[in-house]
Structure 1
Amino acid sequence: MIDLKHDAKIYLYAKAIDCRKSIDGLSYLVINLLGKKPKSGDIFIFHNRSKDKLKALYWDNNGFVLYYKRMESRRFVISKLLQGEVSLSHEECQLLFLGYDFTIKRDANSLYFSQYF
């Protein structure tokens, strides 16, 4: 799992990319598609068309880190409704890399048994 810095912003590029791209190719996308600086320390996440591969690019003090995950029997859940650049929380990023739908918002209210009597 990615070691997330608490102050790092996380961006998911919602359109599919060619996952053969490596650090230089992804840095180019960060600059030209997202309008961001690759060396900002922020985390930039990309996926392929079949949604079985994710790549995350970030700058870590003295060099780029490229994190790559390939699902073997499932696909990552990335909604077709998402457009362009999507900001993710740290929790949403963890859910994405685990293969869960990070867009589902659950009701945080607890139900108590005594409420039904």
Structure 2
Amino acid sequence: MIGPGSAVRVYLACGSIDMRKGIDGLAALVQADLRQKPTSGAVFAFRGKRGDRIKLLFWDGQGFCLFYKVLDKGRFPWPSAADGTARLTSAQLSMLWEGIDWRRPSWSAPPIRTA
């Protein structure tokens, strides 16, 4: 995915939004609900009510980029609306984009090789 890089700040708008919103509507939500500047260079993530759709809004310095993904099966893991806003790392954003539960990843040690 062409994207913002590894040191970017990521904000999740907890709860769900109307997925018909475009760049202008999402930028307005960033200002009003998340109390952030849409052109700050951070990534802002939004999920639809059904949970199978996600939109990422990102300012690249020249204009807005809007990434949209619909899962064929399953739902994107998401905090409840009561949580307000969540911060993610770029690694957690990558997991989210792949549909992996970024809140409880299963980490395992690499297998030990015997000679």
Interval containing the TM-score (normalised by the shorter chain): 0.7 to 0.9
Q: Which residue of 2 aligns with 1:15?
A: 15
The 2-side partners of 1:68 and 1:8 are apart by 18
Q: Deviations over 1:19-65 (max 9, x none)?
A: 10000000000000000000000000000111110000010121000
Runs (5+) with no aligned partner, structure 2: none
The 2-side partners of 1:46 and 1:20 are apart by 11
Q: Which residue of 2 aligns with 1:98?
A: 98
Q: Which residue of 2 aligns with 1:51?
A: 51
Among all aligned residue pairs of Structure 1 and Structure 2, give the percentage whose two residues are the same amino acid. 34
- Which structure has the larger Rg over C-alpha atoms? 1
Kept in 2, the 8 Å contact 1:2–1:67? The answer is no
- TM-score when normalising by structure 1: 0.84
The 2-side partners of 1:58 and 1:8 are apart by 10
Runs (5+) with no aligned partner, structure 1: 113-117
- TM-score when normalising by structure 2: 0.86
Question: CA RMSD, aligned part only?
Answer: 2.3
Deviates more, 1:18-27 or 1:70-79: 70-79
Aligned length: 113
Q: Which residue of 2 aligns with 1:86?
A: 86
Distance verdict in 2 for CA 1:85–1:52, change over 3 Å: same
Q: Which residue of 2 aligns with 1:62?
A: 62
- Please give the secondary structure, in 2, of the residue aligned with 1:57: strand
- Please give the secondary structure, in 2, of the residue aligned with 1:24: helix
Q: Deviations over 1:55-80 (max 9, x none)?
A: 00010121000000011222112244
How far is 1:111 from its partner?
8.8
Q: Which residue of 2 aligns with 1:40?
A: 40
Deviates more, 1:102-111 or 1:56-65: 102-111
